[in-house]
Every structure is written in C-alpha cells, then in structure tokens.
Amino acid sequence: MYNKLLLKNGSKIAIIGGGPGGSFFAHFASRYAKEAGIDVSVKIYDKKSFRQRGPCGCNMCAGVISENLFNGLEEEEINIADFCVQRKIEGYCFKTQDESVVLHHPVPGHIPKIVTVFRGNGPLQSEHDGNVSFDDYLLNHVKEQGVEIISEVVKDFELPDRKGDPVKVICGAGNSKSEFEADLVVGAFGVNTGMMEKVGNMGFGYKPPRTVRTCQCEIMLSQEHIEKTFGNNVFVFALGKSELKFASITPKADYVTVNLVGRKDLTRNNLIDFLKHPAVKNLMPEKWEIPDNFCMCISKIPITYAKHPFADRVVVLGDASISRSYKSGIESAFNMAKMSAYTAFKNGVSASSFMNGYFKPAKKLVARDNFYGIMMLKINDYISSNRELANRQVRLVRSAEDTKTASQINEILWNMLTGNVPYKEIFIKAMSLRLISKTLPFSPLSWIRDESRNSSNVK
Ligand SMILES: Cc1cc2nc3c(=O)[nH]c(=O)nc-3n(C[C@H](O)[C@H](O)[C@H](O)COP(=O)(O)OP(=O)(O)OC[C@H]3O[C@@H](n4cnc5c(N)ncnc54)[C@H](O)[C@@H]3O)c2cc1C
C-alpha cells in the first residue's frame, strides 16, 4: 500500500529554492494537480529576493534563454515579459586571436528565438526603474497559479523513521526555527549552497554533482557601443588560453555579461587577464579601462551529475541533480522539473517511482548525451588551443568557394554554442571524414601513422 505513496487532496509540497528549477516544478505541479482534479498546497522556500540588484539578488549566469526553452515556455503559456528581455539574439560571433566570423542558424532565414535576460534585478550599479528579473518573473507566474512563496531558508529536512510517513522540514535563519511536515520535498537548491552536502550526508544515497567555480562580471557600456560592436550576437572566444574552457560576452541592453568557465576553479585574476586581452579590449570603446567597481561574481557550475537524487517523498532536480554539460542549464531544469512533477502526480512520490519515471529517463536523455558532449568539448579545446587550427576554422566558415564545408562547420559550431540539438547528433556530424580532412591542416591518416610510429619508438 505504501509503495505508491500517491499525492492526494490536501497533500503538501515544499520546494527548496526559488530559482528556475523550483519555479518550473511549481508550475508543472499546479498543472498536473489541476488535471488530476486534486487540491494540493505548493510552497517555494527561498530567502533570496530577486528584486535586488547585484549578486545577492541573482542566480548568477549569462542569462541566455535557449530557443528550445523559449519554445517550451511558450507551449506552457509562459511568455517571457518584454521587460525581462534585454536583447534578442540573432547570431554567435566566434572569435579567435586573429579572426572572427558570425555564425547563423543553420536553416537559412530562420530567426532564432533566443533572448538574454538578467536573473536578478540587473547589475549592482544599474540605474533602471522597476524590476527586470527573470527568476522573479517566474516566481510571480507560479504565484498566480496559487503557489505560495515563503521568504525563508530551509535549514534541514528529516526523513521519517516509518516508511510512508511525511518528511519533516525545518526552516529559519540563526536561532529561529519552524518545523512542518511535507508529503513531498523538492530539492531545487542549485549548487551554490551548503544544502547539497547536507543532503549528501542524509544517507539515502544522494551524492552531489562535482562542480567548478566560474567567474563572471557585468560591464556597463553605452547602448550605441553595444549596438555597433556586438549587435545581437553573443561573442565566444578561442584565445588559446589553456586555463579557459569557455569564454563569452553576452550583450544586454546597456551592459555586456562576461562569462568564463575554466578547467579548474577560476578567480578574479582570470577575469582581469581576459579583459586585458587585445582581442577583448578591441571590442571596448577607445581608451576603455577596466572599471574600479563592477558587478562580479564567482559561481559554481556542475560538471558531473548527481547520484540517487531521490528517496521516498524526496526528489532533487535542476543543477543539484542532472543537467546538460556546460550548456542551457535553465532548459535542463525545465525538462527535469516536468519529468519529476509528472512522475509525482501520475506514479506517486516513492523512491521507485522517481527512479523509473524521472531519474532513469533523465540519465538516458541528458547524462548519456553528456558523454558525447565531453568528447565534442575535448575536440573544441584542442582546436581552440591551437592558434592556426582555430583561425583555419573561421576561414573555412567564411569561405565563399567551399560553401558545403562552410555550412557544415557553421551548423556544428552553432549547435554546440546554442545547445539546440543533442550532443550525440553534433558528434555524428562532426565525425564526417570529409569534414575532418578539410578542417585539419594535415591528413588524418598520415597523422595516425606518425603517432603510431612515434609511440612504437618510445617503447
Ligand atoms: C557562469 C554561468 C553561466 C551560465 N549561463 C547560462 C545561460 O546563459 N543559460 C542557461 O540556461 N543556463 C546558464 N547557466 C546555468 C544556470 O544558471 C543553471 O543551470 C540554473 O540556474 C539552475 O537552476 P536551479 O533552479 O537548479 O538552481 P539555481 O538557479 O542556483 O537556484 C537555486 C535557488 O535555491 C535557493 N536556495 C539554496 N539553498 C536554499 C535553502 N537552504 N533554502 C532555501 N532556498 C535555497 C537559492 O537562493 C537559489 O535561488 C550558467 C551557469 C553559470 C555558472
């Protein structure tokens, strides 16, 4: 009888975290409860107010809403408000130390539905009126569906001694403490919180994803300068810096967001070093100097996925669980929230329901695909770290003579940068022998011959 642990009239759902993972779960929970004709109470707990400016009101990210997510939101009738949209993105500019090319959507004439937003209410120094926060917009959306937003930190939760009993949730900051019982606890607490380790020590098998520290900042520029220099393009850099895995500048209305993801934890020094690079300085106004004060943060990004993110009456999702490697984390949070909420309402909230309805399919969809993603990123690392190879790629995309190769590379790079299609699909296209022989400045066969000769000499 306990095996199913079904949600019913009067069930209480406590969501820890009001970022996208938490809001999306609340959205789907409201929808599936309505479809099932049951009345449940859904509460989101998060102390952070996204109406604040700067890092304390922000879930720190580049703020690019992928096209898949945009479409998914539209299907759910969540239409991102105009006041949240900082810029509509049309292309990605791929920039090496010497060359650059603007990549476009592989389908000619298709205008991508990619937009940029601020997760909080903009950078610390910004002077706009009102509230432009994307995360706050999502919270307001679910509030309209009847979800309650509680401005509190969840200190802890305790699994019941007896199978089937509710979970005890403990809230409050400092010495203040309040307790209540929930029929389902949703861990949407992200990876920038001590909650991950706490849940990891609870003994039900959850092991948090491994993370690295990324570095980002907001640079204020005039709208005219952004329009003229960046336009509606996200800039992505291959500057041969071995410590960086990914470097981008994302244009907003009157700011640009600089994002650096490294092989290891990054610091402010990596950011300063990047901003001083001639290829980056050239994009800034004449005589531009790094400002003394700018909005900057160090935030973590998951680089693996969690183990066992569920127990009876508990499910963990979003960054703290499983997401696409290095890309479109908000879209992953959306997909995983949908899968886990569907499972909770259709199959119940037991560990076995979440295992079969959420975690196994999620691993199939995202984790296995990440394997191809990691291989593609390694290829990309190799090309980006070699000045000549990186330049050669750009020249090939620009080539007016060999348009087939140009559109093949454009498609691969576009899909890698936007996260538009699964990594496996990109990998298969990239493994075309014709393309490899065009991209490499040497014959792959002779390279393999040389490599095996060298290794037999070493032996
Ligand atoms: C440098 C960088 C750039 C990125 N760029 C993009 C991008 O352009 N596009 C994209 O789609 N994704 C991007 N991402 C990924 C994206 O930020 C995440 O995937 C997304 O925010 C995950 O959502 P989440 O809800 O799981 O976690 P979060 O957004 O981290 O939200 C977690 C929430 O939980 C709250 N919380 C934590 N602990 C508690 C507690 N104990 N009690 C109550 N509340 C708690 C926090 O206050 C927070 O609001 C980027 C990430 C990084 C690091």
CATH for 215: 3.30.9
Helix axis angle for 403-418 and 387-398, nearest 10°, is 110
- For 327-362, how does the pLDDT look when each residue is reduced to its tens digit (9 = 90+)? 899 999 999 999 999 999 999 999 999 999 999 999
Residue nearest to atom 3 of ligand 1 (CA): 61
Does residue 74 lie within any of the structural domains? no
CA-based nearest residue to 142, from 58, 36, 41: 41
Q: Indicate whether residue 348 lines ligand 1 (CB < 6 A).
A: no
Q: Is the CB of 57 under 6 A from ligand 1?
A: no
* Residue 14 CB partners (closer than 8 Å, separation 6+): 43, 45, 154, 157, 167, 169, 180, 182, 184, 185, 186
Task: Decide if 457 is inside a domain.
Answer: no
Distance CA 32, CA 293 (A): 46
The crossing angle, in degrees rounded to 10, of helices 423-430 and 368-384 is 50
Q: Which of 268, 302, 336 is the last residue of a domain?
A: 302
Asked whether residue 35 carries a pLDDT value surpassing 50, the answer given is: yes
In short, whether 214's Cβ falls inside 6 Å of ligand 1 is yes
Confidence of residue 459 (pLDDT cuts 50, 70, 90): very low
Structure tokens at 142: 């679910």
Domain co-membership, 316 together with 412: no
Number of neighbouring beta carbons within 10 Å of residue 110: 10
Assigned domain for 205 exists: yes
Closest by CA position to 376, among listed 325, 448, 332: 325
Place of tokens 């990440």: 370
Mapped onto helix, strand or coil, the DSSP state of residue 266 is coil
Please say if the pLDDT value at position 1 is more than 70. Answer: no
Q: Give residue 23's pLDDT.
A: 98
For 428, residues 6+ apart whose C-beta sits below 8 A from its C-beta are none
For the chain, how many structural domains are there in total?
A: 3
Residue 36: give its domain's CATH number: 3.50.50.60
> Ligand 1 in contact with 16 (CB < 6 A)?
yes
Is 156 found in the same domain as 32? yes
Could you tell me if 232 and 337 lie in one domain? no
Q: Decide if 137 is inside a domain.
A: yes
Is any ligand 1 atom within 6 A of the Cβ of residue 328?
yes
Clarify whether residues 89 and 152 are in a common domain. no
Q: How far is CA 318 from CA 1, 58, 117, 208, 213, in A?
A: 30, 16, 19, 12, 17
Residue 438: predicted pLDDT: 84
CA 294-89-138 angle, 5° bins: 75
DSSP of 32-91: HHHHHT---EEEEE----TTS-SGGG---S--EE-HHHHHHHHHTT----TTT--EEE-E
**Is residue 457 scored above 60 in pLDDT?**
no
The encoded tokens of residue 132 equal: 């432009």
Which residue lies with its CA nearest to atom 30 of ligand 1?
Answer: 190
Of 2-11, 34-43, 102-111, 278-287, where does mean pLDDT reach its minimum? 2-11
Q: Give the domain extent around 44.
A: 12-50+133-210+304-349
Q: Which of 148, 139, 182, 144 is nearest to 10 (CA)?
A: 182
DSSP state of 442: S
Residues 44 and 137 in one domain: yes
Nearest to 427 by CA among 385, 368, 386: 368
* 96 and 238 co-located in one domain: yes
Identify whether residues 160 and 278 lie together within a single domain.
no
Of 245, 273, 302, which residue constitutes the final position of a domain?
Answer: 302
What average pLDDT is seen over the chain? 94
Same domain, yes or no: 279 and 218: yes
Question: Is residue 405 a part of any domain in this protein?
Answer: yes
Q: Is 195 in the pocket of ligand 1 (CB under 6 A)?
A: yes
**The amino acid at 1:** M
Ligand 1: centre distance to CA 327 (Å) = 13
User: Could you tell me if 137 and 191 lie in one domain?
Assistant: yes
3-class DSSP assignment, residue 439: helix
Q: First-to-last CA distance in the chain?
A: 64
Give the separation between CA 20 and CA 318, rounded to whole angstroms: 8
* 56 part of a folded domain: no
90 located within any domain:
yes
Residues 291, 308, single domain; the answer is no
Whether ligand 1 lies within 6 angstroms of the CB of 21 is answered as: yes
- For the cut 60, the answer to whether the pLDDT of residue 458 exceeds it is no
pLDDT bin (cut points 50, 70, 90) of residue 436 is confident
CA of 60 to the centre of ligand 1 (A): 7
Q: Are residues 376 and 418 in the same domain?
A: yes
Asked whether residue 215 falls in the same domain as residue 298, the answer is yes
Q: What is the DSSP letter of 284?
A: S
Let me know if residue 104 belongs to a domain: yes
Per DSSP, the three-state class of 279 is: helix
Q: What whole-number distance in Å separates Cα of residue 313 and Cα of residue 336?
A: 17
pLDDT of residue 2 exceeding 60: no
Check pocket membership of 393 for ligand 1, CB cut-off 6 A: no
Select from 51, 61, 328 the residue to mutate for testing ligand 1; criterion: most ligand atoms less than 8 Å from CB: 61
Whole-angstrom distance, CA of residue 387 vs CA of residue 371: 26
361-400 burial: b if 16+ Cβ within 10 Å, else e: ebeebbbebbebbebbbebbbebbebeebbbbbbebbeee
| Better-predicted residue by pLDDT, 52 or 451 | 52
Q: Is the CB of 373 under 6 A from ligand 1?
A: no
The pTM of this model reads 0.95
